[in-house]
Structure 1
Amino acid sequence: MWSLAPQHEETTMADHRKLGRELGLFDTDPLMGAGLPYWLPDGAVVRHTLEEYIREAERRSGYRHVYSPVLGKRELYEISGHWSHYSEDMFPPMDLGGEQVVLRPSLCPHHALIYRSRSHSYRELPLRIAELGGMYRSELSGVLGGLTRVRAIQLNDAHIFCTEEQAVDEALAALELIRRAYRALGIQPSRYRLSLPGEGGKYVARPEMWRRAARMLAEVLEGSGVPYEEGAGEAAFYGPKIDVQVVDSAGREATLSTVQIDFHQPERFDLHYIGPDGAKRRPVMVHRSVIGSVERAVAHLIEVHGGAFPAWLAPVQLVALPVSEAELPAAERLVRRCLDLGLRAELAGPEHGSLGARIRSARLVPYQAVIGGREAAGDLVALRLRDGRRPAALPASEVIQRVREVVAEHGAELWDGAAG
């Protein structure tokens, strides 16, 4: 339920940890544990809407969605290489019926098994498998913070199984999908990084494999036309990656989205497809995450927008504000019509205070629908937009339709100024 939150000044540059709690988006409790935030109703709406947007964008781009368990046998991660290269960041194994199971640190081993469960022809490739799935990292308490660094992660992940000849084009398409999502979300990357291996035993010792994958990712970046920098020591243990970096309100940089080309795991899991000559061939595995973890993405969005989310992402999209008790029935009808047509609308009646106080409290809601006597009598709506504009009063049906169109476009604009 939309509530009258206290006023807070200069929210646009606030740390997401402070603003997210003030706006009732998320919180934590010591009994749940550090790095394990929970989502409050308005935050859950933002998260759900973001997840729906990403799933639909992926579906339109040819991805098929799957679900896989958050647990796996220790042997699975020994095969993938996580156990030998990444176990310090994993939760300890649990003994279960004579076996050891582990909370997964990533989704790629599960997707490799999903691919392996069926035979594949070259005609089926590229095969794009996507999942919004949970994974777990044993982060030290000192690095945990708000939503940006957590122990239970909901990851927007996908793996494309393709021929080596298809890999560059698939990675290019993945990078373009990321850039389109950023435009819809209002995110500006701080830089693009080609993350390469560093010294030491952290990385799989396959120099030629690394060189091939790095060459291909450099081709992707150059083909996309974005400037980039190389970063030694920033690669995944099994291969190089493109990292899309963002900066938070304190100036700290973090990776939000990634694209990777992986020759390692297809070999470890003995993945193959049948080529045009009938022989078995090894696919390439392109990893990509459009928004990374949902938690980190929402943290960044809170800071970028100061809680004033784009209309399509806002927890409440329209609030109806009857001037007095006499207009309450008309305001209730407006809210019901909005809800029936898929908009997130709520009522803020006179019991919540004066009209001015209610308008101030709803300052982050994109559309404030003021209903006075004239509007109630004529089935009109006098809108106040969040950016201060006040379009002329219009029939309620036209207002609802215009708001629905703005929401469907996933854009940053609140109103078509040319339309009045």
Structure 2
Amino acid sequence: MRVRENAGQADHRRLGRELGLFDTDPLIGAGLPFWLPDGGAVRHALEEYVREAERRAGYRHVYSPVLGKRELYEISGHWAHYQDDMFPPLEVGGEQFVLRPSLCPHHAVMFRSRPHSYRELPLRMAELGGMYRSELSGVLGGLTRVRAIQLNDAHIFCTLDQVAEEAAGALELIRRAHAAMGIEAVRYRLSLPGPGGKYVAAPEKWERATALLRQVLDASGLGYEEAPGEAAFYGPKIDVQVADAAGRESTLSTVQVDFHQPEQFGLEYIGPDGARHRPVMIHRSVVGSVERAVAHLIERHAGAFPAWLAPVQAIVLPLSDAEHPAAAELAARCTALGLRAEVAGPEHGSLGARIRAARLVPYQLVLGPKEAAAAEVAVRLRDGRRPGPLPAGAVLDRIRAAVAAHAAELWPEGVAD
């Protein structure tokens, strides 16, 4: 009973609404949540983190349409193997268009649109893009099962000899992101094909792709389990599993090796021998869908997000109306430094009431007459520590440094003293 109670208390659907992060409305439709300002701030911070991490890792960012002609998905194999999860085609001018269930066909076409040399490989193409799944109403819930998904997706086009290193690099990006988010994988899964006709019939390609991913996992030293029946229709994958408060597992991050779509789309590059060669396509997602990632963050942290993700990172608390101008100025300095800051003055209640109301804010900056006169601030951390009063400039520099470093610790030593 206690486990169920705790799971209910940590349910992201309840917490997300109570914290003003997201909501739904029947007029918009089931499985189509909208993001409120605080939820938008969390989402934006997560998106900016992963874009920058990818940029530093050598990825180039692209944009592609959320629609494609039905023929695109017939070539990729989605129409034959994934049609039940796709929305029906839209008839436009005698042609059929489909809301995309995946970004990979678009990226394959983008690679094909220009000639490539082996000197350009690996070519790492990333996009935070929308995709759509025709989920049944009975399985929809909060942010974990939705019909409109923003996926942190990327495709690496590389030579066969580069696959292991690129897949290992993707796993390292995933590890770093999870550490910054303050979450942990419960297990790593090598997802393999199972019986039935939902997989591409190409035994040799499956064996080669599976051997490569097994090599990557073995070299990483990570323990993993094989899971027949959990592969993508076109190839095996490494799934990074997380669990909610009730112990239910879901896949957050993935790395996949694909020999199928490069062949289907006729992808080529010119090798050192001057001949045409087929690249390998690695699919990878560092944080998975933004919706599922934020759902897990809500439950993992119960709204007390790491400082870099918090909707409001610093709240300035003037003791009285006399300190309000100094408080407004301090909040403006926070904003100029790229921090999300607000002022909560006496009109919102006593200092104690305001501190309790701001219990999830990482940094509470209290300004009394002495602090205002001395250009100092009394710092209260969310965990109860009080490293102050300190010069206001030094406090803001330290907060900015901790946020920029995506530090798990609120007041890390050595970040900015």
Q: Does 1:244 align with 2:240?
A: yes
CA distance in 2, matches of 1:391, 1:377: 19
Tell whether the 8 Å contact from 2:7 to 2:246 is kept in structure 1 after alignment.
no
Instruction: Name which of 387, 406, 419 aligns with 2:402.
Output: 406
2:363 counterpart residue number: 367
What SS is found at the alignment partner of 1:230?
strand
Q: Is the 8 A contact 2:213 2:257 kept in 1?
A: yes
Q: Are residue 112 (structure 1) and residue 126 (structure 2) matched?
A: no
Partner of 1:253: 249
1:212-238, Cα deviation, whole Å (9 max, x unpaired): 100000001111110000000000000
Note the 1:17-416 alignment, pairs <5 A: 17-416=13-412
Shift of 1:14: 1.1
CA contact (8 A) 1:122 1:274 kept: yes
SS at 2:394 equivalent: helix
Which runs of 4 or more aligned residues in structure 1 lie more than 4 Å from their structure 2 counterparts after TM superposition?
Answer: 9-13, 417-420
1:416 offset after TM fit, Å? 3.1
1:15 matched residue in structure 2: 11
Counterpart in 2 of 1:6?
none
Following superposition, the deviation at residue 417 of structure 1 comes to: 5.2
Alignment deviations for residues 287-336 of structure 1 (CA, whole Å, 9 cap, x no partner): 00000000000000001111001111101110000011111111111001
CA distance in 2, matches of 1:375, 1:13: 39
Determine the C-alpha separation between the residues in 2 that align with 1:223 and 1:27: 43
Number of residue pairs aligned between Structure 1 and Structure 2? 412
The Cα of 1:11 is off from its aligned counterpart by: 9.9
Q: Secondary structure at the match of 2:41?
A: helix
Deviation at 1:58, TM superposition (A): 0.1
Give me the CA root mean square deviation. 1.3
- How far has the Cα of 1:13 moved from its partner? 5.3
SS of alignment partner, residue 188 of structure 1 = coil
Matched-pair contact (CA < 8 Å) for 2:326–2:372: yes
Q: Deviation per CA, 1:125-167, whole angstroms, max 9, x where unpaired?
A: 0000000000000001111100001000000000000000101
Instruction: Judge conservation of contact 1:190–1:245 (CA < 8 Å) in 2.
Output: yes
Q: Is the 8 A contact 2:7 2:245 kept in 1?
A: no
Q: CA deviation at 1:251?
A: 1.4
Q: Distance in 2 between matches of 1:187 and 1:12?
A: 19
Any stretches of 5+ residues in structure 1 without a counterpart? 1-8
Percent identity of paired positions between Structure 1 and Structure 2: 75
Deviation, 1:249, is 1.5
State how far apart, in whole Å, the 2-side matches of 1:56 and 1:12 are.
35
Q: Give the Å deviation of 1:341.
A: 1.2
The 1:62–1:386 alpha-carbon spacing in structure 2 relative to 1, beyond 3 Å, is: same
Q: Point out the more displaced range, 109-118 or 243-252.
A: 243-252
Deviations 1:68-118 (A, max 9, x none): 000000000000000000000000000000100000000000000000000
State the Cα deviation string for residues 379-399 of structure 1 (Å, max 9, x = none): 110000000000121111110
Alpha-carbon distance in 2 for matches of 1:363, 1:261: 45
Letter in 2 for 1:306: A
Code of the residue aligned with 1:42 in structure 2: it is D
Q: What secondary structure does 1:153 align onto? A: strand
Using the TM superposition, give the Cα deviation of residue 10 of structure 1 relative to its aligned residue in structure 2, in angstroms.
7.8
Asked if the contact 2:6/2:245 (under 8 Å) is kept, the reply is no
TM-score when normalising by structure 2: 0.97
For 2:210 and 2:9, locate their aligned partners in 1 and report how far apart those are by CA, in whole Å. 37
